[in-house]
Amino acid sequence: MPVGQRLCETGRWSYRATDNVRFLKLSERRVMTNVILLGPPGAGKGTQAKTLADRTGLTHVASGDLFRAALREGTELGMLAKSYMDRGELVPDEVVIRMILERIQQPDCASGVIFDGFPRTQEQARALEVALADHNARIDAVLFLAVPQDVLLRRIAGRQTCRTCGAIFNIYYFPSHRPGICDACGGKLYQRSDDSIETAQHRLDVYFAQTMPLIEYYQRQGILHEIDGQREIALVTEAMLKALSPYLAPAQP
């Protein structure tokens, strides 16, 4: 069996008594691959995660997107998260952990997840490990997108996101063909409220203080792959897919 591939009991994984979902029998086993995209705000995690999910069939789970969706729906979680996001602060660990662990119980996560923006603290990393271990699963690979600090601010401040499909553009590096209009679906582009220069700088400071230690944490586990995130988007994608290839090989009979 290729490195990093294990059998996971998808039955226990996807079943919740309250869910109106198909119950997969415990005897039904599948290969599961879990990947974390690690990197500072503006490194390109969201852009790459979407493409990687399409190319690998893994499910993209982005903590920031979940908070923004909760906010659009006007839930308590969304309102709580907004107060932290607007200041560029991290939402408290217990709130993020609960939200992510609930999300990965959904059936679409049964054969593997690309985590984007989570974990961001050691506490979150440990909680994820424990939850996955409960299901005979683990983190197989961590892809660390390395981008120098001076490039990051421009990337964040120039970022535009489609309201309809979530596609990401950048007015400096990757502009849409028609200003303010999404190339993919024709939806309207907007700038995230936490992408102003001041908030972006604070988000970077928070990243260096709280999330950077995770690089060493995963390095020690031997699962960290550093990817040069400065290159063209397509080249970065290829480098990531290459790093992931040992974990994505088809299961042996």
Least Å distance between CB 235 and ligand AMP? 23
Does 90 bind ligand AMP (CB under 6 A)? Our answer is: yes
Does 229 bind ligand AMP (CB under 6 A)? Our answer is: no
Instruction: Strands of 103-184 (E only): list them.
Output: 112-116, 141-146, 159-162, 168-170
Q: State how far the Cα of 217 lies from the Cα of 51, in Å rounded to an integer.
A: 26
Does 63 bind ligand AMP (CB under 6 A)? Our answer is: yes
Q: Which residues contact 144 (CB under 8 A, 6 or more apart)?
A: 38, 39, 215, 218, 224, 225, 226, 227
Report yes or no: 127 and 158 within 8 Å, Cβ to Cβ.
no
Which of 1-9, 23-31, 89-97, 131-139 is the region at the interface with ligand AMP (rule: CB under 6 A)? 89-97
Least Å distance between CB 85 and ligand AMP? 4
Q: Which residues contact 143 (CB under 8 A, 6 or more apart)?
A: 35, 36, 37, 38, 225, 227, 240, 243, 244
* Own/partner pairs, 195-202, CB within 8 angstroms, 24+ separation: 195/156, 195/157, 195/159, 196/157, 197/153, 197/157, 199/86, 199/87, 199/88, 200/41, 200/42, 200/88, 200/152, 200/153, 200/156, 200/157, 201/88, 201/153, 202/87, 202/88, 202/89
Furthest-apart CA atoms within the chain: distance in Å: 54
Which of 29-37, 113-121, 178-186, 232-240 is the region at the interface with ligand AMP (rule: CB under 6 A)? 113-121
Residue number, 50 or 203, with CB nearest to ligand AMP:
203
Token pair recorded at residue 84:
């932290």
Residues 125-154 that bind ligand AMP (CB under 6 A): none
Does 42 bind ligand AMP (CB under 6 A)? Our answer is: no
Does 84 bind ligand AMP (CB under 6 A)? Our answer is: yes
Out of 29, 30, 192, 231, pick the active-site residue: 192
120 among known catalytic residues: yes
Does 124 bind ligand AMP (CB under 6 A)? Our answer is: yes
Out of 50, 68, 120, 155, pick the active-site residue: 120
Does 182 bind ligand AMP (CB under 6 A)? Our answer is: no
203 among known catalytic residues: yes
Q: Which of 4, 44, 64, 112 binds ligand AMP (CB under 6 A)?
A: 64
Residue number, 55 or 192, with CB nearest to ligand AMP:
192
Does 118 bind ligand AMP (CB under 6 A)? Our answer is: yes
45 among known catalytic residues: yes
Residues lying near ligand AMP in the complex (CB under 6 A) are found at 41, 63-64, 67, 84-85, 88-91, 96, 117-120, 124, 194, 203
Residues with a known catalytic role = 45, 120, 159, 192, 203
